[in-house]
């Protein structure tokens, strides 16, 4: 029966290119499907109204994008961007905290689009701890990356979803549809941030070109990603730092956060594109920092790591839970933490009923677990040098001690159905070949 188990595991629980999640086992999915069309990528066709050269984003456009606020900043209080990579962790830039001496003045707004009117989808959290990279260098901006642990986990909703962070099996340079977004200045001269989230399409730029003499002449590190346009005009700017550089997966409908906005010479200048910290480069650092948290038990115990995609829970979605009489961030951790999955009346890998909320299933495309036969399933990347289930040695990645529920919670099909199916296949094979195939 061993081959059967292996087959079932490989086929149904394909390991992804390094994701961790807890919003129903999903990351990188946008709540609404947005069709920018190829025209968005022909330079100049994307609304050139004003990030710099971008346009106002629609609600819930980038549901993992967060705004870091500082109580002393006038106006909206916006300080930097960030990406929610776990219900209790935000990935951002280390330099955002260069001038912050008291982290308790920083708070995080999640699920907002317009900062002055965050709306009912927004949640606020304070910072339990800041972990900046130990080798962050202010002078040359090396290792410009940081993690914030939130005081309480956020509740996932159509407005709040997790970002996917790529491990080393993803070929980032081959990703084509990339975007930046943030509440930063809409021009290099503007001193204020933007109230409405701005977004813009960008191209990934070869590091060698980016580091060449007329460009950044040697200032770019191998842990950076450059993105923008040789001609300039569209770019991130002051206030966008810490936010994500995001690229759509080449096969599926989800996005990877491949960069953290770090710096640039001016904004939107020719041959001086935005410089981003590569999340792929720091994948292990991110995992290690999250795992090393002294609060780890509380924050990670209930998580399932490394499997993607999984099917969201059919019976109850976190935001459908019992009416919140008290905002979740005000309550002390209760006997059952708010992020613990509700009692499973139906196994989590059962297909959701037809009434599932629209964000799990972009209207025009098929859900991830019923791919059209022509395309490959998400766990078989055609271009990967090695299949994703031949992950780098375990020593590279600290893994939580798996529990039996961790093991199965991302299988999208009921086990008994699978066993039945494969037993039938086995019987058939026996009939055809007349030999024992177990």
What is the nearest approach in angstroms of ligand ARG to the Cβ of residue 412?
Answer: 39
> Given the complex with ligand ARG, which of 57 and 237 has the nearer CB atom?
237
Q: Which residues 6+ apart lie within 8 Å of 313 measured at CB?
A: 24, 341, 342, 344, 348, 352
> Given the complex with ligand ARG, which of 127 and 237 has the nearer CB atom?
237
Q: Closest-CB residue for ligand ARG?
A: 264
Q: Which residues 6+ apart lie within 8 Å of 108 measured at CB?
A: 66, 67, 68, 69, 82, 90, 124, 125, 126, 127, 148, 150
Give the integer Cα–Cα distance in Å for 97 and 146.
9
For residue 221, indicate whether it is catalytic: no
Catalytic residue among 31, 86, 144, 281: 144
Give the interface with ligand ARG as residue ranges (CB under 6 A). Answer: 184, 235-241, 261, 263-264, 267, 274
For residue 144, indicate whether it is catalytic: yes
386 touches 169 (CB < 8 A)? yes
Catalytic residue among 241, 299, 409, 410: 241
E runs forming strands in 30-88: 55-56, 65-70, 78-86
What backbone phi and psi angles, to 5 degrees, belong to 189?
A: -85, -20
> Given the complex with ligand ARG, which of 158 and 232 has the nearer CB atom?
232
What is the nearest approach in angstroms of ligand ARG to the Cβ of residue 46?
Answer: 17
What is the nearest approach in angstroms of ligand ARG to the Cβ of residue 239?
Answer: 5
> Given the complex with ligand ARG, which of 224 and 236 has the nearer CB atom?
236
> Given the complex with ligand ARG, which of 216 and 349 has the nearer CB atom?
216
What is the nearest approach in angstroms of ligand ARG to the Cβ of residue 351?
Answer: 43
Residue 294: which H helix or E strand, with range? none
Catalytic residue among 17, 69, 78, 95: 95
The torsion defined by the Cα of 172, 92, 308 and 322, in degrees rounded to 10, comes to -150
Q: Which residues 6+ apart lie within 8 Å of 356 measured at CB?
A: 312, 314
Give the integer Cα–Cα distance in Å for 118 and 111.
8
The residue among 200, 201, 207, 198 whose CA lies nearest residue 177 is 201
> Given the complex with ligand ARG, which of 67 and 293 has the nearer CB atom?
67
For residue 78, indicate whether it is catalytic: no
138 touches 77 (CB < 8 A)? no
What is the nearest approach in angstroms of ligand ARG to the Cβ of residue 12?
Answer: 42
What is the nearest approach in angstroms of ligand ARG to the Cβ of residue 243?
Answer: 8
Q: Would you please indicate which residues are annotated as catalytic (active-site) residues?
A: 95, 144, 241
């Amino acid at each position: 029966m061993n081959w059967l188990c292996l087959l079932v595991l490989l086929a149904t629980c394909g390991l992804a290119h390094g994701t961790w999640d807890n919003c129903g086992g999903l990351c990188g999915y946008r709540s609404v499907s947005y069709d920018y069309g190829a025209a968005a990528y022909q330079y100049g066709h994307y609304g050139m109204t004003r990030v710099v050269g971008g346009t106002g984003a629609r609600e819930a456009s980038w549901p993992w994008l967060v705004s870091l606020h500082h109580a002393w900043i006038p106006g909206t209080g916006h300080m930097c961007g960030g990406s929610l990579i776990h219900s209790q962790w935000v990935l951002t830039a280390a330099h955002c905290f260069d001038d912050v001496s008291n982290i308790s003045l920083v708070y995080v707004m999640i699920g907002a689009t317009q900062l002055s009117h965050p709306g009912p989808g927004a949640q606020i959290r304070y910072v339990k701890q800041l972990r900046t990279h130990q080798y962050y260098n202010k002078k040359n901006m090396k290792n410009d990356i940081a993690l914030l642990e939130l005081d309480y986990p956020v509740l996932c909703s159509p407005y709040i979803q997790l970002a996917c962070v790529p491990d080393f099996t993803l070929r980032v340079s081959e990703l084509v549809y990339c975007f930046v977004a943030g509440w930063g200045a809409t021009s290099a001269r503007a001193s204020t941030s933007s109230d409405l989230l701005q977004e813009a399409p960008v191209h990934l730029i070869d590091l060698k070109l980016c580091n060449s003499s007329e460009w950044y002449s040697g200032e770019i590190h191998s842990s950076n990603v450059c993105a923008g346009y040789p001609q300039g005009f569209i770019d991130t700017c002051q206030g966008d730092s810490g936010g994500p550089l995001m690229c759509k997966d080449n096969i599926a409908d989800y996005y990877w956060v491949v960069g953290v906005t770090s710096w640039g010479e001016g904004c939107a200048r020719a041959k001086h594109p935005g410089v981003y910290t590569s999340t792929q480069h720091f994948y292990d650092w991110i995992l290690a920092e999250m795992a090393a948290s002294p609060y780890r038990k509380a924050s990670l115990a209930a998580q399932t790591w490394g499997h993607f995609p999984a099917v969201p829970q059919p019976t109850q979605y976190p935001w459908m839970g019992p009416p919140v009489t008290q905002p979740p961030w005000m309550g002390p951790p209760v006997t059952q933490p708010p992020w613990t999955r509700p009692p499973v009346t139906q196994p989590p890998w059962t297909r959701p009923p037809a009434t599932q909320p629209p964000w799990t299933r972009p209207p025009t495309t098929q859900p991830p677990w019923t791919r059209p036969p022509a395309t490959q399933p998400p766990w078989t990347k055609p271009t990967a040098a090695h299949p994703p289930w031949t992950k780098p040695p375990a020593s590279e990645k600290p893994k939580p001690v798996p529990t039996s529920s961790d093991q199965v919670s991302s299988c999208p099909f009921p086990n008994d159905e699978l066993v039945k199916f494969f037993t039938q296949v086995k019987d058939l094979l026996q009939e055809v070949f007349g030999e024992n195939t177990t």
